[in-house]
Amino acid sequence: MNELYHWIDGERAKGTSGRFADVFNPATGEVQSRCPMASAAETEAFIARAAAAQPAWGAMNPQRRARVMMAMVGLMNRDMDKLAEALSREHGKTLPDAKGDLQRGLEVIEYCIAAPQMLKGEFTDAAGPGIDMYSMRQPLGVVASIMPFNFPAMMPLWHVGPALACGNAVVLKPSERDPSVPLMLAELFVEAGLPKGVFQVVNGDKEAVDTLLDSPVIQGVSFVGSTPIAQYIYSRATANGKRAQCFGGAKNHMIVMPDADMDQAADALIGAGFGAAGERCMAVSVAVPVGKETADRLIDKLVPRIEKLRVAPYTDGNDVDFGPVVTREAKERILGLINSGVEQGAKLVVDNRDFSLQGYENGFFVGPHLFDHVTPDMDIYRTEIFGPVLSVVRAKTYEEALGLAMDHEYGNGTAIFTRDGDTARDFAHRINIGMVGINVPIPVPLAYHTFGGWKKSMFGDLNQHGPDSFKFYTRTKTVTARWPSGLKEGGEFHFKAMD
């Protein structure tokens, strides 16, 4: 049995708690490795070592920190295939999806090369008589990142990259379900020139998380996961005086107007609803066609596309549309919600509840499902399913469709498909959701913009990556300086009166 490790002071370290979590191969259902679960004492040791390493890293000029990011980009590109294979093996997503996971993380590291520009302060000459005023951005110190299973490369890089570029030391707690890629990235950072101890990876569960949240050394906390856990982490971190950004669940609606290109809309829903087995916070899980004719046309377009989707392990090649979900518990939860949809009166148009893959009967595969006539009171509408399930909620008017998205408790992402610029502009301005797509189904901003939702999808004031990340991982210090002036007489300065 392969036994994984922690990463401390630039080296692999075995766990000492005696507790382990099983890491599965989602395609076969077999345990492929064991991940050590850190005790509170182990976690405190990681924090202490990070604190010892941070001052020198924080004092390093931003250009040198940026060079580490530049080297990291080259190393990730060099090892892309190896990283993607390790990611797919533990998570289950296809190799193209795994490379996409890595690429979107890599783009944030590329953005971090601009750290010298992003960390520049402001300067005002002669703010008063003989007075100059300037500001500087300084690192928080030691920060913690608590990351989810669904993007084991992208999400850590979105947080670790900016935090390091700003001069902080980072303690990363990756998901225990697929921890190998974060550990591999830690090794690459050292190879890129990151000083040992600045980036630590501690594997663990709630015991490690609570230790990070309660430690007086940790100054900032980033989290991505479900809304209940986001609320818990945000509340506990802020109660302990920490800066926190916590990103939670989603229920992303895509409105389809009568004038939309229906083939384009259907193709978009297939990719956005079923890609990565629906295990994405930006997945479109609710389609809202406006008008009966629009809904009927959309269903007619969707059904044959869904029936052609190929579900298989990543080892079957690049023509696989999606693979298994991450655990058996996730599969059972998804199927339970599908059954609840049927029981509550939704029409299951595409039913794959009995899906089984020959040779992989014990794998965590869930076939694609399509519901029609879903209503807002149903569990499959209110709950983030996090699986390959698309629900169609029919709206009679644009205003009704808009209201569905606006009234839902989550506000991560949304989209509208239309040819009408006035409708699209109205939608973008009125919708109370953080990320909006216009004829774009998954509106994930590029690295130089910020990513974050509204309502119960996000807790905190600053978003992920982009300019917000440099604001989150630094404090602003403002200096007001006044220097007395004098005339040199006889080798001495005679200072004028200050007033």
Would you say 428 and 269 are in contact if contact means Cβ atoms under 8 Å apart?
A: no
Neighbours of 219 (CB within 10 A): 19
In contact, 276 and 311? CB cutoff 8 Å: no
Residue 112 annotated among the catalytic residues of the structure: no
* Contact call for residues 164 and 67 (beta carbons, < 8 A): no
Q: What sign does the dihedral 173-475-196-55 (CA atoms) show?
A: negative
- Helices 62-78 and 180-191: crossing angle in degrees, nearest 10, is 130
Whole-angstrom Cα distance, residue 145 to residue 246?
A: 10
Q: Which member of 35, 112, 246, 281 is catalytic?
A: 281
Q: Which residues contact 279 (CB under 8 A, 6 or more apart)?
A: 93, 150, 325, 326, 330, 386, 387
Q: Is the dihedral of CA 8, 66, 466, 143 positive or negative?
A: positive
Q: In the 8-state DSSP scheme, what is residue 92?
A: -
- How many other CB atoms are there within 10 angstroms of residue 269's CB atom? 27
DSSP one-letter string for 460-474: SS--BSSHHHHHHTE
In this structure, what are the phi and psi dihedrals at residue 3, rounded to the nearest 5 degrees?
Answer: -110, 125
Q: Is the dihedral of CA 23, 99, 445, 69 positive or negative?
A: positive
Number of H helices, E strands in the chain: 16, 25
Rounded to whole angstroms, the Cα distance separating 48 from 45 reads 5
Q: Is 429 exposed, middle or buried (0-12, 13-18, 19+ CB in 10 A)?
A: exposed
Pairing of strands 347-350, 369-372: antiparallel
Residue 324 half-sphere exposure, CB side, CA atoms within 13 Å? 30
Give residue 241's identity as a one-letter amino acid code.
Answer: G
Q: Is residue 37 within 8 Å of 203, Cβ to Cβ?
A: yes
Say which residues have a Cβ less than 8 Å from residue 446's Cβ, sequence separation at least 6: 107
* Cα-based distances in Å from 301 to 295, 306, 308, 370: 10, 9, 12, 12
Distance CA 18, CA 37 (A): 8
The residues assigned a catalytic role are 281
